[in-house]
Amino acid sequence: MTPSQPHPWLRAATVALLLSLIALAGCDRKPETDRLTFQAFGTLVDITVYPGGVHDLTRIESELSEELEIMHTSWHAWEPGSLGRTNQLLALGGEFSAPPSVLPLIEYAQELESLTDGLFNPALGRLIAAWGFHLDEAAGPPPDAEQLEALLADPPRMSDIERRGVRLRGNHPDLQLDFGGMGKGFAVARSLDLLADLGVEHAIVNAGGDLMTRGRPGDRAWRIGVRDPLGQGVLASIELGSDEALFTSGDYERGYEWEGERIHHVIDPRSGRPSRGLVAATVLHDDPALADAAATTLMIAGPDDWPLYAQRLGVEKALVVLPDGSVELTPEMVPRVEFRREVIRRIRAAEPGVGAIAP
Amino acid sequence: MIRGLRWGDAVVVALATALVTSSFALGYAPGGDSTHLVITQAGVDPRHYPLTENRAIRVEGPAGVTEIEIQPGRARCLRSPGNQGICEAAGWLERPGDMAVSLPNRLTLQVRGARSDFDSMHY
């Protein structure tokens, strides 16, 4: 060995040193995603953004909170706002210009009410209020038989709103709009648009448990845990790609106990009472407003008819939980769900041709 | 001393060995089990509590006090304002991603691990 050549041990040590430096450089301590939680739209909003450590979270929270509060006020069913004014004017029966924030919801709700034979009917605000759900903390007493009979004798429908462009007229004195079954879907979609304006390309907006994705966290899918509606822990996990909305309507969400009976907020327009037969209905769709409204509709449709109404609404991926803890799901939903506990499951689909909407 | 190797070479070898060892120690974190509870509340920075020993936590919120109990490896919402008992009904939170929510007090309790199982929870 000549003096100018490094000793083999020294060479090995140098290589080890370089490798360790490379390893340390690869130890990126930044989180993969950032999350922030805040109160808005009357619920807890949880935002996940990718990649972590690069976005201005303070600005995101500030701008989203402001936008969500504007929507919350505009669409609030019992506090003053655009929807409150619209309800007053609809009850008067004269023609008026619809507030721009409310008109798209009315148009969509008319379409959905028609598709669901009135199972999804946001014109029944008076009925919802009679059950004590137009209060910040829902409370009884529930309506008695006489009150229910009066409310159901000639119930208002979305088709009782006459629409000519932006001009509206109410044709039913009891018309009172309540967009509790679809407003969150609109709000989540708007929030994702706002995030895109703020430079966030990959995110989840989760409003009170209902959520929608945009983009992807790197080269993998978003991993979503589905909480068990009947107990603790996680029922299942679902992987979502970009622009997928996951919405659930459940009897555990809003409600109160009255004389030993659980009164929940999903009211069946046919009986005028809280829906029966399903604990929760979950819909996966690329349209969050449709997913929101469809989840409510499937809850109301109940254990026999939910596949029929899923088909009518163009929902291919849906899952319902029955009171005994068993789960029914559409064939298209099966590959999307990985259950985290033992669960009895059945695959349900609407019978061919039954309930199909004529073109 | 090995032939041809000077004392300075030995120092470099020792330093390199120490660096390699420490890089593994710093860079490697086993994932999986629940390690801490994260309490998020509107308007407050998230608070982290290790799930290593018994602990009782009281969180003041707009509707009153939420009482939280921590035991090694798990946590639960013991009592919380609201007439629906949704927070308490979540039971023990044991696995990464398990979550309890108190809407009246505007807070969430979520168990996380060294690597979180989920990007978001649907409920």
Asked if the structure places residue B120 within a domain, the reply is no
Q: B61 and B38, same structural domain?
A: yes
Measured on CA atoms in the order A44, A45, A51, A53, is the torsion positive or negative?
A: negative
Pick from B90, B98, B120: CB nearest A224? B120
What pLDDT is recorded for position B31? 38
Contact A13 B5 (CB under 8 A): no
pTM (two decimals)? 0.80
Between A326 and B8, the higher pLDDT residue: A326
Q: What is the mean pLDDT of residues B17-41?
A: 66
Rounded Cα–Cα distance for residues B58 and B66 (Å): 6
> Are B105 and B64 in the same domain?
yes
- Residues in chain B within 8 Å Cβ distance of A16: 16-17, 19-20
Confirm whether B121 is domain-assigned.
no
Per-residue pLDDT at A359: 33
| Shared domain check, B57 and B20 | no
| Pair (B48, B90) in one structural domain | yes
> Do B44 and B75 fall within a single domain?
yes
CA A184 centroid distance within chain: 6
One domain, residues B10 and B63? no
The answer, yes or no, to whether residue A17 has pLDDT greater than 70, is no
Residues B41 and B62 placed together within one structural domain of the fold: yes
pLDDT of residue A16: 65
Chain A residues near residue B23 by CB distance under 8 angstroms = 20, 23-24, 27
Q: Is residue B21 part of a domain?
A: yes
CATH number of residue B57's parent domain: 2.60.320.10
Please name the residues between 19 and 58 in chain A that touch chain B, using a CB distance below 8 Å: 19-21, 23-24, 26-27, 33, 37-39, 43-44, 46, 48
Q: Are residues B42 and B81 in the same domain?
A: yes
In terms of domains, do B98 and B41 share one? yes
Residue B118 lies in a domain: no
Confidence tier at B114 by pLDDT (50, 70, 90) = low
- With contacts defined as CB-CB under 8 Å, which chain B residues touch A224? 118-122
Chain A contacts in chain B segment 63-102 (CB below 8 A): 82-84, 86, 89-95, 97-99, 101
ipTM of model: 0.85
Contact A7 B15 (CB under 8 A): no
Q: Which residues of B touch A14 (CB under 8 A)?
A: 12, 16
Assign B3 a pLDDT band (cuts: 50, 70, 90): low
- The number of folded domains in chain B is 2
| Least confident among A243-247, A296-300, B88-92 | B88-92
A-contacting residues of B 7-46, CB under 8 Å?
9, 12-13, 15-17, 19-20, 23-24, 26-27, 40-43, 46
Q: What is the pLDDT, as a whole number, of residue A355?
A: 43
Identify the CA nearest to A195 among candidates A300, A323, A55, A315: A55
Across-strand partners of A246?
Answer: A211, A284
Quote the pLDDT of residue B28. Answer: 45
User: Nearest chain A Cα to B116, which residue?
Assistant: A223
Shortest CA distance from B114: residue in chain A: A31
Whether residue B43 is contained in a domain is answered as: yes
What is the identity of the amino acid at B87?
C
Same domain? For B6 and B42 the reply is no
Any domain includes B122: no
Residues B64 and B76 in one domain: yes
pLDDT at B30: 39
SS3 A29: coil
Residue range A336-352: mean pLDDT, rounded: 89
* Distance between CA atoms of residues A184 and A75, nearest Å: 10
Say which range, A264-278, A313-327, B83-97, has the weakest mean pLDDT.
Answer: B83-97
Range of the domain at B22: 1-30
Instruction: Find out whether A191 and A205 touch, Cβ atoms under 8 Å.
Output: yes
Looking at residues A287-304, what average pLDDT do you find?
97
Distance from CA of A224 to the nearest CA of B (A): 5
Check residues A81 and A31 and name the one with the higher pLDDT: A81
- Whether B123 is in a domain gets the answer no
Q: Is A154 helix (H, G, I), strand (E, B) or coil?
A: coil
From A210's Cα to the closest Cα of chain B, the distance in A is: 6
Q: Name the residue of chain A whose CA is nearest to B29's CA.
A: A27
User: Does A249 contact B at CB distance below 8 Å?
Assistant: no
Residue A15 CB coordination number (10 Å): 11
Q: CA–CA separation, A134 vs A76, rounded Å?
A: 10
Taking a C-beta distance cutoff of 8 angstroms, is the pair A295, A278 a contact? no
* In chain A, % of residues over pLDDT 90: 73
Residue A120 has pLDDT above 50, yes or no: yes
Task: Let me know if residue B119 belongs to a domain.
Answer: no
The CA R_g of chain A, rounded to the nearest whole Å, is 25
Q: Is A153 helix (H, G, I), strand (E, B) or coil?
A: helix
CB contact under 8 A, B103 and A14: no
Alpha carbon B106 to chain centroid, angstroms: 20
Q: What is the arithmetic mean of pLDDT over A99-105?
A: 95
Please indicate whether, in this complex, the C-beta atoms of A206 and B122 are within 8 angstroms of each other: yes
Residue A243 identity (one-letter amino acid): D
In this structure, are B46 and B18 located in the same domain?
no
What share of chain A has pLDDT > 70, as a percent? 89
Predicted local distance difference test score (pLDDT) of residue A255: 84
In B, minimum Cα distance to A211 occurs at B122
